[in-house]
Structure formats: C-alpha cells, structure tokens
C-alpha cells in the first residue's frame, strides 16, 4: 500500500501543470537541506572545541546538558515556522477498500523524513562519540543520544498536532504565550534556573535508562495522538466545504453595532468577516496581537532611556502592527471577488474610506492595549501616542497608496507561515518610507532643540495628516480610480 501511495504522489508531482515551478522549489529546498546537513555536521565535530576554547567552559558535557532544554525550545520555534503538516489528498481514497489506518500510518511515517529530525543526530552524534563516551562509556553515550533523538522526534509530532488542532486560534496563541512566557518569567524572576532543570534531566540520560523510557513513551503518545486525529477526521463529510472549520470564527458574527455607521460600517463588517473566516488574514491579526508584546524585549533595560528615539521605532510596530501587516496586502484580500465588489452599490471613495477607518480603528485599539507599558515609564506612553497619531495621519496613506502597486490575488485559506503569495516589490519597499518617515521629522527637531520637541513635531505632523484626511482620501480615491481596471485585470490573470 505504501508503494501505491508513493507512486500516486510521484505521478501527481510529475503531471502537475506547475511541474516546473514545483521542481525548482524542490531543488531549492534540497540544496537548503544539504546546506543544513553540512552545517549541522560541522557544528557537531566542532562543538567540544567551541565550548572549551571560545566559551571557556571546562566541562563541555555539563554545559551542553544545561543548554539542551533551550535547544529544544529553539527547535520547536524553528519547526513551527518551517515544518509543514503532512498532507495527502485523501478524498479519492475514501470510497475505495483502503483502511484509513493505512493512510494515517503512511502520512505519519513519511513525515518523519525531515531535515530537522536528522539535525539532532548530526549535531550530537560526533559529540557523543568523542566526549560523552569518554566520560560515561559507550552505553551512557548511546542512552544520552537516543533520548535526544526521541525527544526531537516527539517535537516533530507535537508541532504537527499543534498545527492541526491549535494553530491559527486564540487558544493556540494563548498556549504558546503562556508556555514561553512562563519559561521567560521563571528565568527573569529567578523562580528557578532553566539551565539547572535541563542539567538535572539530561545528566540522568546516562546514569539510568529512565529518560529513554520516558522519551519512548512521549514519542508513542504523540504519534498515536496524531494518528487518532487523522483517522477520526478522515470522513467524506468532513471534507465538505460547507463544514470548513475555517469559517467557524466569523460564522455568527453580525457586528450589528457597525450598522450605525452607515455604508462604512457595513463594509467594515464585511471586511471583519473576511478576516475571521479565512486563515491567511486571521493569522495576520494573531501576529499583530503577538507584536503587542514587542516592547517587552526592549523596555526592560536602559536602552530606551539612552536612546529615547528608539521608542518611536518600537511604538510604530506596537500601535501599527495590524496596519502594516494587513495593509501591505490591502487590496489583494478582495482579489478573488474584486470585480463582484464593484458591482455592489458602493462608490470607490466609500471603499477606500472604509479601509481607512478599519486600519485607524485597529491602530487606536492597539494603543489602548499598549497602555500597560506605562509601567516602564510615561515617556514610553508618550512615544506610543505620538506614533499612533503619526500612523493614523501619515503612514496609513503611505500604505494605502503603495498597496496599489501591482497587488496580486491570494488564496485566503492558506496560512501565512513561509507563504509569500501576493508579496511583491511594493511590500518590501513599503517598509522604507514607513520606518524613515517619523525620523525625517524627529531628528532635525531633536538635534536643533530637544527630544521632547522632536516627539512633538512628529505628533503635530500626524495631526496635520488627520486634519487633511478628506483631501488625502480624495487623492487616494482618484489614484485608485485610475488604477482600478489595471488592478482588476491583474487579478483575472491569476
């Protein structure tokens, strides 16, 4: 049965209309995998020397054991962004006399052939043979290495289950924030040292077989957890588009209060339903929510006190995260129904202005949610306020106009991780004026007068942009009207 699945996958790949594109992608990923293997193997042989000579640690094995939990946390993050969920078009097989268990085992077994699963062996096998074996013997080295490999394979299936069940959801995001936040808080407030816990766990990897046994049990549990999820979800009715779980988020969302804002409110309501019912825009919202924590990276130390202008940079992303992330593809979200949109009773100005109010409302909400940063100093709240005003008065129009530059149709149901569909030159170039614009205003006034005057100048510039909103929206509307048919033609080509 496995040979049949492999044959069908091969035929599907070679007979695809995008065969050349997929082949080029496969070659690139293969070269990338070879590079990862080479670097991992080189790191494995050099690891002991790096620890002793560069990090000046006499006990390299003890140091590695202290760092292993950090390694697995980093591996989880990398797997989350780079590892795909195993996929097979199972619909053609559901009416055939093929056991669902066979399909599930095939998917899970095939998925284990991943470069990350080889990396842990490539990095730590040379270290186990040269260092661990000398201190703990061959049996201890094998036990230590086997426990690392099994834990890495367990992470493989943990990421798969997380992506299938919890990814792209508020619960999944809350779980990630809670787990990693707890680890960070434990180290920061010295509840316990993560390195000591790591040393205690992995130092027992050679002294007894209990770690290997626990790793085997964890691996088996996660394997059969994924197996059950795949088998239980492998019914024909589960593949019906009417029961697509991606629509559940916004299924019952009517946003009645927005109707009080007239046509603008109705179109904002439609845009919100588009966001909540589709994976790609929804993931942008979750990413924007996560970026609200961006300040915790920088506001703990004295860097902001030494470089007060840097708070503008952080405030730009905290208050403007949704505006920047969602706005860079502002018109591509309607790419699949762009022609239909303009058969509705709505003017181009109403279409543009509804998007303006959506972006500004999200910016205002982000500023309100960032108010707890006042704990680190009221100067941070001032910088956030200034950047909120600047984003609503200046950056929003930069984004709305640059997003008209060759927007591309995108598949709303796909995730955003390593998905560059719809991302073109405009999206990369857009970052330059957005990041530089506030400093073009801030730096001259800061150098001539003071930091406070520089912040005031940025805020006043944003207020001028807000005051000129009707005129700037008119200019944006005229530009969009001139490019509307060109944009529509580009969407039809996709």
Tokens linked to 400: 């709305």
The confidence score (pLDDT) of residue 380 equals: 83
Task: From 244, 251, 304, select the one nearest 451 (Cα to Cα).
Answer: 304
**Alpha helix ranges (H) inside 262-347:** 262-277, 279-290, 295-298, 303-306, 310-327, 338-341
In the block, residue with structure tokens 């559901």? 94
- With the C-alpha atoms ordered 153, 158, 164, 170, is the resulting torsion angle positive or negative? negative
Report how far apart, in Å, the C-alpha atoms of 243 and of each of 184, 228, 272, 282 are.
39, 20, 20, 18
Q: Which residues 6+ apart lie within 8 Å of 193 measured at CB? A: 187
Estimate the share of the chain in helix, then strand, then coil, as percent rounded to the nearest 5.
80, 0, 20
**What's residue 217's pLDDT?**
92
Count other Cβ atoms within 10 Å, centred on residue 99: 11
Give the C-alpha separation, 381 to 372, whole Å: 9
**What is the pLDDT at residue 249?**
44
Q: Is residue 374 a contact partner of residue 338, using CB atoms and an 8 Å limit?
A: no
Q: How many residues does the chain have?
A: 494
Cα separation, 97 vs 454, whole angstroms: 73
Q: Note if the pTM is more than 0.85.
A: no
Q: Are 141 and 209 in contact (CB under 8 A)?
A: no
Burial 222-258 (b: 16+ CB within 10 A, else e): bbeebbeebbeebeeeeeeeeeeebeebbeeeebeeb
* pLDDT (0 to 100) of residue 209: 76
Give the tokens for residue 146.
């086997």
Angle (nearest 5°) at CA 394 between 374 and 313: 40
CA 229 to chain centre: 24
* DSSP string for 327-344: HTTTTGGGGGGHHHHTTS
Beta carbons of 290 and 177 less than 8 angstroms apart: yes
Q: Tell me, what's the pLDDT at 173?
A: 64
User: What's the CA angle centered on 371, arms 370 and 377, to 5 degrees?
Assistant: 110
Give the pair of three-digit tokens for residue 477. Answer: 């509307």
The residues, any chain, with a CB within 8 Å of residue 67's CB and separated by 6 or more, are: 195, 198
Check if the beta carbon of residue 411 is closer than 8 Å to that of residue 279.
no
pLDDT in tens, the chain (494 residues): 666 666 666 666 566 655 666 667 667 767 777 877 787 778 888 888 888 888 777 888 888 888 888 888 888 877 877 776 665 555 566 666 677 777 777 778 777 777 778 888 888 888 888 888 888 888 888 888 888 889 989 988 888 888 777 765 556 666 776 776 676 666 666 676 777 788 888 876 556 678 888 889 999 999 888 888 877 766 544 444 334 444 444 444 555 666 666 677 777 777 787 777 777 777 777 777 777 777 776 676 555 555 667 778 888 888 888 888 888 878 787 777 776 777 776 778 888 888 888 888 889 988 888 888 877 777 888 888 988 999 998 888 988 888 888 777 776 666 555 555 556 666 677 778 888 888 888 888 888 888 888 888 888 999 999 999 889 999 988 888 888 777 777 676 65
| Terminal Cα-to-Cα distance of the chain (whole angstroms) | 37
Check the CA dihedral 270-273-278-281 and report its sign: positive
| Phi, psi torsion values for 208, nearest 5 degrees | -155, 170
């Amino acid at each position: 049965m496995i040979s049949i699945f492999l044959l069908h996958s091969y035929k599907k790949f070679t007979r695809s209309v995008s065969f050349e594109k997929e082949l080029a992608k496969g070659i690139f990923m293969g070269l990338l995998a070879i590079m990862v293997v080479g670097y991992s193997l080189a790191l494995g042989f050099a690891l002991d020397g790096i620890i002793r000579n560069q990090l000046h640690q006499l006990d390299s094995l003890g140091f590695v054991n202290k760092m292993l939990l950090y390694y697995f946390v980093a591996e989880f993050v990398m797997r989350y962004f780079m590892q795909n969920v195993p996929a097979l078009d199972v619909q053609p097989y559901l009416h055939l006399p093929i056991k669902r268990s066979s399909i599930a085992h095939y998917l899970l077994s095939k998925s284990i052939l991943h470069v990350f699963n080889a990396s842990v062996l490539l990095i730590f096998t040379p270290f186990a043979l040269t260092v661990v074996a000398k201190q703990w013997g061959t049996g201890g080295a094998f036990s230590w290495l086997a426990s690392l490999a099994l834990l890495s394979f367990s992470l493989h299936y943990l990421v798969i289950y997380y992506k299938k069940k919890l990814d792209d959801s508020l619960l999944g995001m809350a779980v990630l924030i809670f787990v990693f936040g707890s680890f960070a808080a434990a180290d920061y407030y010295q509840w316990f040292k993560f390195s000591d816990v790591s040393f205690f766990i992995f130092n027992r990897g050679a002294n007894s077989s209990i770690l290997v046994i626990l790793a085997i049990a964890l691996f088996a549990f996660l394997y059969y957890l994924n197996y059950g999820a795949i088998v239980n979800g492998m019914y024909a009715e589960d593949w019906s588009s009417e029961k697509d779980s991606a629509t559940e988020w916004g299924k019952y969302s009517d946003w009645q209060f927005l109707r009080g804002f007239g046509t603008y409110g109705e179109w904002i309501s439609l845009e919100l339903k588009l966001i909540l019912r589709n994976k790609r825009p929804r993931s942008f919202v979750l990413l924007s929510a996560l970026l609200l924590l961006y300040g915790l990276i920088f506001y703990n130390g004295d860097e902001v006190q030494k470089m007060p202008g840097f708070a503008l940079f952080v405030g730009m992303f905290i208050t403007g995260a949704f505006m920047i992330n969602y706005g860079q593809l502002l018109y591509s979200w309607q790419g699949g129904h762009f022609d239909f949109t303009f058969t509705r009773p709505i003017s181009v100005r109403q279409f543009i202005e509804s998007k303006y109010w959506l972006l500004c409302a999200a910016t205002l909400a982000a500023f309100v949610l960032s108010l707890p940063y006042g704990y680190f100093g009221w100067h941070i709240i001032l910088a956030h306020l200034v950047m909120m005003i600047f984003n609503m008065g200046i950056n929003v129009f930069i984004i709305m106009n640059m997003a008209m530059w060759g927007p591309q149709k995108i598949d709303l149901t796909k995730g955003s991780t390593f998905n560059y569909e719809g991302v073109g030159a405009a999206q990369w170039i857009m970052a330059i004026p957005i990041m530089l614009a506030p400093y073009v205003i801030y730096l001259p006034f800061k150098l001539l007068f003071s930091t406070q005057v520089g912040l005031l100048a940025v805020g006043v510039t944003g207020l001028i942009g807000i005051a000129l909103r009707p005129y700037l929206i008119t200019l944006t509307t005229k530009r969009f009207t001139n490019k509307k048919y060109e944009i529509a033609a580009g969407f039809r080509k996709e």
